[in-house]
Amino acid sequence: MNKKKIINDPVYGFINIPTELVFDLIEHPYFQRLRYIKQLGMTHLVYPGALHTRFHHALGAMHLMSTAIETLTNKGHYISEEEQEAVIIAILLHDIGHGPFSHALEKNIVQGISHEDISVLLMNRLNKIFDGRLSLALEIFNGTYPKKFLHQLVSSQLDMDRMDYLNRDSFFTGVSEGVISSDRIIKMLNVVDDYVVVEKKGIYSIEKFLIARRLMYWQVYLHKTVVAGEQLLGRILARARELAMRGEKLFSTPALNHFLVNSISKEMFMTEDMHLQTFTCLDDTDIMAAVKVWTGHTDQVLSTLCTSFIHRKLYHVDIMNTIPDEGFVESLRDKAAGKYKISKAETAYFVFTDAISNYAYKLDDGNILILMNNGKTCDITQASDNLNLQALAKPVEKYILCYTKDLV
Amino acid sequence: MNKKKIINDPVYGFINIPTELVFDLIEHPYFQRLRYIKQLGMTHLVYPGALHTRFHHALGAMHLMSTAIETLTNKGHYISEEEQEAVIIAILLHDIGHGPFSHALEKNIVQGISHEDISVLLMNRLNKIFDGRLSLALEIFNGTYPKKFLHQLVSSQLDMDRMDYLNRDSFFTGVSEGVISSDRIIKMLNVVDDYVVVEKKGIYSIEKFLIARRLMYWQVYLHKTVVAGEQLLGRILARARELAMRGEKLFSTPALNHFLVNSISKEMFMTEDMHLQTFTCLDDTDIMAAVKVWTGHTDQVLSTLCTSFIHRKLYHVDIMNTIPDEGFVESLRDKAAGKYKISKAETAYFVFTDAISNYAYKLDDGNILILMNNGKTCDITQASDNLNLQALAKPVEKYILCYTKDLV
Amino acid sequence: MNKKKIINDPVYGFINIPTELVFDLIEHPYFQRLRYIKQLGMTHLVYPGALHTRFHHALGAMHLMSTAIETLTNKGHYISEEEQEAVIIAILLHDIGHGPFSHALEKNIVQGISHEDISVLLMNRLNKIFDGRLSLALEIFNGTYPKKFLHQLVSSQLDMDRMDYLNRDSFFTGVSEGVISSDRIIKMLNVVDDYVVVEKKGIYSIEKFLIARRLMYWQVYLHKTVVAGEQLLGRILARARELAMRGEKLFSTPALNHFLVNSISKEMFMTEDMHLQTFTCLDDTDIMAAVKVWTGHTDQVLSTLCTSFIHRKLYHVDIMNTIPDEGFVESLRDKAAGKYKISKAETAYFVFTDAISNYAYKLDDGNILILMNNGKTCDITQASDNLNLQALAKPVEKYILCYTKDLV
Amino acid sequence: MNKKKIINDPVYGFINIPTELVFDLIEHPYFQRLRYIKQLGMTHLVYPGALHTRFHHALGAMHLMSTAIETLTNKGHYISEEEQEAVIIAILLHDIGHGPFSHALEKNIVQGISHEDISVLLMNRLNKIFDGRLSLALEIFNGTYPKKFLHQLVSSQLDMDRMDYLNRDSFFTGVSEGVISSDRIIKMLNVVDDYVVVEKKGIYSIEKFLIARRLMYWQVYLHKTVVAGEQLLGRILARARELAMRGEKLFSTPALNHFLVNSISKEMFMTEDMHLQTFTCLDDTDIMAAVKVWTGHTDQVLSTLCTSFIHRKLYHVDIMNTIPDEGFVESLRDKAAGKYKISKAETAYFVFTDAISNYAYKLDDGNILILMNNGKTCDITQASDNLNLQALAKPVEKYILCYTKDLV
């Protein structure tokens, strides 16, 4: 069987599958599951093209990794064939632990455990299935492998993950301003003292990369209506769990049911196999199918939330620089209690606040170093002419106030 | 509320919603449902980007319609504001009757009724909801409105539907060869004797359009693995219905269940409201959620088919110019019966043949007419210099033989 | 004759010529001359695609102006048909005064007069030819027309000129990072108190626009080899003039000859008609044809410079943050004098320094104002979250040292 | 010195220069001359972006050759490093013999000698300069090297030359319909019996390639106004030669003068070195600079033609399927003689006919073979399903009638 397949990708043209092991990993049900997990949660409510999946993103990041390897080996940095395959596997599987709707429900299915934790669990399990052939990939992924620069290609502020998701999210949303010149940036990568650096002439490309990422955050990832959709979905899951815990009957697939009726701690999830096993059966469709049925549930809170979601009657969202006025929030809650004839506690499903924040660049966390003409390296915030990039290293924190539109 | 929204579309940049009525139709749950119906069924199993939906296609076709209207009115053809809105609504809603996975399951959910039939039913219903304001759109859609050329923009061999789907399917699959110059073709449209024609200098663009469409058929829509995926999904539904009819319990959403346990004739569907009402609750997610659960069903045929589907172990497919050899098919069936320990009848789920056919161009069915320099029109097959387009008007018929891969 | 032509443009697809007067201006020899003046001088020595002309740029800027007018009138700002045509003419003709190789030779053909001055002279002359029908366009161009915002669309830090040249130069050089979202930016334009502003949600697009422009400056317009090519061309013209003034015979077209043998002051140029008349006969080809012939001139300085240019043996260029060391420059000059057997004065053709500078954003000069949600406006440097755009308002000044490569 | 440069190309992104010898050839004045020879002659009069040069095309074709080599060696066809460099040099230099305005003036500068003849002359000369290191490239170019398939990559109906020019001409004209999927086609190339073939699944891509090429011919290369511009330029040169032969003084560069005042036969050109040497100094700028000056020449025929050209008052052109009516042509000539007060013979500059023809596909001339699934090959016209490609193999012949617009 020919395992050296080529996959069509509208973003990069063609993606090659480099080795048989990589092919077999892609074919594995754990990885195939990612076909049904949208990269950007409910963003398609605003940008209807944004239906691309973690599956496609993982392949795209793998493709960029291949080109990065080629560039670095051409510049004389030795990367053995084993290391090449391992770093490719590490990037391929970096998101394998994502659950339904990616970040949108990350905290609502299993509390206290991140998708990165689950990625490691699943990579370990795959390592067993594949007789230890993923050990090197795991070392690179976990950052324990001596050649640190390989880990940086997988995870840092200029890793293949970011480059792919910016390109891909731009492509599918149609927000062309998020496109970055990954080709050009990768051609300017180099390694100094076991650290991935960018050659000096790439400074302006990096500036543009940071600005493009910042734009994508505020224009897409944290877009008001996207936030509204994802918050609503989160509340729906929360209400469903609340009802399920109380013993109410709820339509759901068996896999989703498992996470509705059980309260699973991080430790339980890490140690009792059944939870992870069930998790690998979950994807976006379990949620959507249930939410549609719940529009007819007898619990008015749940059915109202679900109907709003399906009919795209989302929350009103205000994004503010300061904490929302408590008095105003209270008054909205009172109105909601009256209007929907629900308890004050239940109004939290219809009126609530939250905070969102974003760094365009983080100091001291996988910094982007520039290789100057004199052979020394310095942080991009120092190297850039007179664009004050240090300002970008301060987090932007914003507050949101969500409430159902019929309250005002 | 601002109803003159702009929607981001990676294919055309921006799509304007032209009127309030159009906005309200887009917001209606019947139309929102199209967000969850993939344009190309299971094509994403081969082209992972092909996750775009009927929702997005309908908006795209609407956008092209706006530009076509602009071109024709600029050329002096009067189209009243009412007609403009109506023809836009006709194209917007032309696919509203599609069910889960579009064509892939068209014959498996409700037998004997086409998606066009259901589109008309839903448009009629919307017409009631919107107090008769869709009457003109319906006349145009049904071809009963005197200005015939408006109907042709909605449905003919050079309609806005085809132009959008070729562009959009090319974009999302990454098969760039399917891109057509809709901009250029639309700029060359004109109307003669109440018939949409293409000005002479557009001949070569039309040739390319026909060749691009032909390419998309054989390279994408009828791609071996796409066919394999869709045939498998069809068999799954068929088996599930068979079991349900027998009274076996099957996990499913209530909406899907309705179509599994009832045998609904075309007449029943057209007359008993409940069927259509239930149909409007169905989308891709009902199917996917069920198929995943059915992988654990006790019926071995069903669970085997579902597991194959979810793990992407699809049929082997041969596409041939002649009818598959019956003896060979029989021998495969015998093998299947032995191997899976099933009845000979049940082997039809694992070994079967089918025929597929396609016209690149049809004579006598919404022909493409060219407006020659002398003011007369002639069919594109006559107008084209020496490319023998008439040859394209013969159907290409091919035969397929599908069987599970472990049989040989 | 049909004057409502459509022009193919690879950047925007199609460009419409809006009125007959605009058509006639485009057909006029003064405007047709721009077909032979490259937008980016000798940049094609580095980016071989950069052969696009002022002609194409002017049409592109006109196209953007049409879309800006459409956006603003849709938002309720009245712009009469006369004003529309006038502002379109103003942008169409804004660069009509450019001479051979645009900026590259701006100071070498006629001293002391800018291309803007010549644009005004030519627009006035066209105004006479067209019986005063350009008067309004001239008022707008000169900033004397009461509706100031029209002038801003022609000339400010966010004018149609900049938007087109960034898009166009990116397209033809292949430096995709310079592409800006002109579509999106234009859609977010508005007018407040007779001033063009950008709506708040456009902040990130403006940030990206500024960063893209900065990148284009340092990566393209001030690219080392581009600078080397243009400096060399400048020295060639200077030497040719020096020789011509001395009475030496030089091959040249009559038009070029006029500017070689005469010393024309700004005042002379403005008042004596013959100079402007002759100027309108000059374009890139006069220069290139002459330079090729001069490779065989008896003056060794001229022939050496010309041969270097034609054979693309350009200067070595250092770009530095500080003034080049005088001692080092002196030593290079001494070497040059010895090596080429020329006078010390003549070494200035082979060894010289210069300064280049650029603002990414200028305070107090056609500022970019943001329209905040509260209806007030504020400068982009104030409105942007925590990207320190004020830093961009400081000029970046760099020094260059050029010398022939065989000197070290 | 780093000779492994990367060149920016808006069409393919980046082009790598593979070896030092290739770098040195690119730097050579013979090759640098191609910077000043437009690929598409005067096509920019219709498509203003079409200013790209033979220089850029040669680099692009070289790039495609590199990818073709990579594909074929990956499929197990051995191509030695020497052969790789040679076939790359062969394609790089295939057009080096082009003169000013490429095909537009091919018959007007030197009669009886094609640009291919001159390419061979120049390659031989470069071979001497580079000490015989181009011998293998010459064998491949001339088709005398045993591995015939290498020659096919350089020259056949599916060579890298055609693929690049279709892509490049589409890109710069903005006629997006001419874009071909060179990536995809090259990935499907293979070699059978020392012949380049296309794998079966590529049939539809080849169909589209042929149709795209046909479209480019009639929409761009043989566009009415392009024909008008190039015919006019040809007549100008003819008239200038006529005058020069008579001994009239004409402004021109020395190189152009050589070809105006001498009547050089093919044999003289091949044997007397001076002609070739002078030819290498000629490019578009010699012609343009002269034509501009000739607008003021005392010969009324010449000055009229040149003024028409510079002011873009081109001939009226009719393109017909039959030979133009002689009586009508005569009547136009009579009018011209009276109107311009010229002899009947001279009217041939203002009224004339010509024939143009084009094959979309040629049988028996570097045919395109398809590799069928059974391992056999067959001609694309046989392999294609039911698109009658044989029809494309008949030449399309058309007749043109040109005359100055003021004659009717």
Asked whether the predicted pLDDT for residue D298 surpasses 90, the reply is yes
* Residue D152 in domain: yes
Sheet of strand A189-192, all strands in order from the earlier edge strand to the far edge: A189-192, A195-199, A369-371, A377-379
Smallest CA–CA distance from A51 into chain B, residue: B51
CA distance C327 to C334: 11
In sign, the C-alpha dihedral spanning D65, D69, D72, D75 is negative
Count of CB atoms situated within 10 Å of the CB of B398: 17
Q: Which residues contact C48 (CB under 8 A, 6 or more apart)?
A: D7, D8, D9, D35, D53, D55, D56, D59
- Residue numbers of chain C with a pLDDT score lower than 70: 1-4, 386-388
From first to last of the 408 residues of chain B, give the pLDDT tens digit: 456 688 999 999 999 999 999 999 999 999 999 999 999 999 999 999 999 999 999 999 999 999 999 999 999 999 999 999 999 999 999 999 999 998 888 888 888 899 999 999 999 999 999 999 999 999 999 999 999 999 999 999 999 999 999 999 999 999 988 888 899 999 999 999 999 999 998 998 998 999 899 899 989 999 999 999 999 999 999 999 999 999 999 999 999 999 999 999 999 999 999 999 999 999 999 999 999 999 999 999 999 999 999 999 999 999 998 999 999 999 999 999 999 999 999 999 999 999 988 887 888 777 899 999 888 999 988 887 766 677 778 888 899 999 999 998
Note the pLDDT of residue B90. Answer: 98
From first to last of the 408 residues of chain A, give the pLDDT tens digit: 456 688 999 999 999 999 999 999 999 999 999 999 999 999 999 999 999 999 999 999 999 999 999 999 999 999 999 999 999 999 999 999 999 998 888 888 888 899 999 999 999 999 999 999 999 999 999 999 999 999 999 999 999 999 999 999 999 999 988 888 899 999 999 999 999 999 998 998 998 999 899 899 989 999 999 999 999 999 999 999 999 999 999 999 999 999 999 999 999 999 999 999 999 999 999 999 999 999 999 999 999 999 999 999 999 999 998 999 999 999 999 999 999 999 999 999 999 999 988 887 888 777 899 999 888 999 988 887 766 677 778 888 899 999 999 998
Count of CB atoms situated within 10 Å of the CB of C383: 20
User: Which residues does residue A13 pair with via DSSP β-bridges, in sequence order?
Assistant: A9
Q: Which domain holds residue A64?
A: 8-222
Chain B, 357 to 376: residues with Cβ < 8 Å from chain D are: 360
* Residue B183 in domain: yes
Q: How does strand B13-16 pair with strand B6-9?
A: antiparallel
Q: Extract the tokens encoding C91.
A: 């942008």
Smallest CA–CA distance from D280 into chain C, residue: C292
* Residue B212 in domain: yes
Note the pLDDT of residue B386. Answer: 63
B311 in contact with A, Cβ within 8 Å? yes
CA distance C42 to C63: 26
Asked whether the predicted pLDDT for residue D26 surpasses 90, the reply is yes
Count of CB atoms situated within 10 Å of the CB of B34: 24
What residue has token string 């050839």?
D25
Q: Are residues A169 and A279 in the same domain?
A: no
Please check whether residue C7 is in contact with residue C15, taking contact to mean a CB–CB distance below 8 angstroms: yes
Smallest CA–CA distance from B54 into chain A, residue: A48
DSSP A314-335: PPEEEEESSPPPHHHHHHHHHH
User: Which residues of chain D neighbour B215 with C-beta distances below 8 Å?
Assistant: 204-205, 207-208
* Residue B36 in domain: yes
C344 in contact with D, Cβ within 8 Å? no
What residue has token string 């001494």?
C334
Q: Are residues B100 and B231 in the same domain?
A: no
Please check whether residue A245 is in contact with residue A64, taking contact to mean a CB–CB distance below 8 angstroms: no
Chain C, 179 to 208: residues with Cβ < 8 Å from chain A are: 179, 181, 184, 201, 204-205, 207-208
- The CATH code of the domain that includes B172 is 1.10.3210.10
What are the residue ranges of helices labelled H in A20-114? 20-27, 29-32, 54-74, 81-92, 106-109
For residue B295, report the phi and psi dihedrals to the nearest 5 degrees: -55, -20
Cα–chain center distance at C71: 27
- The CATH code of the domain that includes C323 is 1.20.1250.30
CA distance D100 to D284: 5
* Residue C110 in domain: yes
Chain B, 119 to 178: residues with Cβ < 8 Å from chain A are: 171-175
Please check whether residue C75 is in contact with residue C190, taking contact to mean a CB–CB distance below 8 angstroms: yes
Chain B, 249 to 308: residues with Cβ < 8 Å from chain A are: 251, 253-255, 281, 283-286, 288-290, 292-293, 296
* Residue D89 in domain: yes
What residue has token string 């296609």?
B57
Looking at B198, B223, B248, the residue that finishes a domain is B223
Count: domains in chain B: 2
- pTM of model > 0.90: yes
Count of CB atoms situated within 10 Å of the CB of A391: 18
Q: Are residues D297 and D159 in the same domain?
A: no
Chain B, 79 to 118: residues with Cβ < 8 Å from chain A are: none
Length of chain C in terms of residues written: 408
Note the pLDDT of residue D4. Answer: 64
User: Which residues of chain A neighbour B44 with C-beta distances below 8 Å?
Assistant: 35
Looking at A153, A188, A222, the residue that finishes a domain is A222
Give ∠ CA A234-A237-A243 in degrees, rounded to 5.
140
Q: Extract the tokens encoding C335.
A: 């070497």
- Looking at residue B116, its amino acid is E
Q: Are residues A231 and A164 in the same domain?
A: no
A354 in contact with C, Cβ within 8 Å? no
Q: Are residues C63 and C108 in the same domain?
A: yes
Q: Are residues C113 and C41 in the same domain?
A: yes
Report which DSSP code applies to C44.
G
Report which DSSP code applies to D204.
H
Note the pLDDT of residue D3. Answer: 64
What distance in Å separates residue D363's CA from the closest CA in chain C? 34
CA dihedral B202, B208, B209, B214 (to 10 degrees): 150
Q: Are residues A259 and A122 in the same domain?
A: no
Please check whether residue D230 is in contact with residue B237, taking contact to mean a CB–CB distance below 8 angstroms: no
Question: What would the pLDDT profile of A69-107 be if each residue is shown by its tens digit?
Answer: 999 999 999 999 999 999 999 999 999 999 999 888 888
A326 in contact with C, Cβ within 8 Å? no
- Helices A284-294 + B284-294 axis angle, to 10: 120
Q: Are residues B122 and B206 in the same domain?
A: yes
Q: Are residues C149 and C115 in the same domain?
A: yes
D305-338 core/surface letters (b: 16 or more CB in 10 A; e: else) = bbbbbbebebbebeeeeeebeeeebeebbebbbe
Q: What is the ipTM of this complex?
A: 0.94
Q: Are residues A23 and A172 in the same domain?
A: yes
User: Which residues of chain D neighbour A14 with C-beta distances below 8 Å?
Assistant: 183, 187
What distance in Å separates residue A327's CA from the closest CA in chain D? 57
* Residue A282 in domain: yes
C325-354 core/surface letters (b: 16 or more CB in 10 A; e: else) = eeeebeebbebbbeebebeeebbbbbbbbe
CA distance C330 to C333: 5
Please check whether residue C200 is in contact with residue C372, taking contact to mean a CB–CB distance below 8 angstroms: yes
CA distance C98 to C106: 8
* Residue A386 in domain: no
- Looking at residue C323, its amino acid is I
Smallest CA–CA distance from B32 into chain A, residue: A311
What distance in Å separates residue C127's CA from the closest CA in chain B? 30
Q: Which residues contact C179 (CB under 8 A, 6 or more apart)?
A: A176, A179, C166, C167, C170, C171, C212
What residue has token string 């001609």?
D379
Q: Are residues A46 and A187 in the same domain?
A: yes
CA distance B330 to B343: 13
Q: Are residues C208 and C82 in the same domain?
A: yes
Q: If we measure between CA atoms, which residue out of A99, A94, A162 comes closest to residue A134? A: A94
3-state SS assignment for residue A399 = strand
Q: If we measure between CA atoms, which residue out of A173, A30, A143, A168 comes closest to residue A92? A: A30
Question: What would the pLDDT profile of C159-209 be if each residue is shown by its tens digit?
Answer: 999 999 999 999 999 998 888 889 999 999 999 999 999 999 899 899 899
Q: Which helix (H) or strand (E) holds A51?
A: none
Chains within contact range of chain C (3+ C-beta pairs < 8 Å): A, B, D
Sheet of strand D189-192, all strands in order from the earlier edge strand to the far edge: D189-192, D195-199, D369-371, D377-379
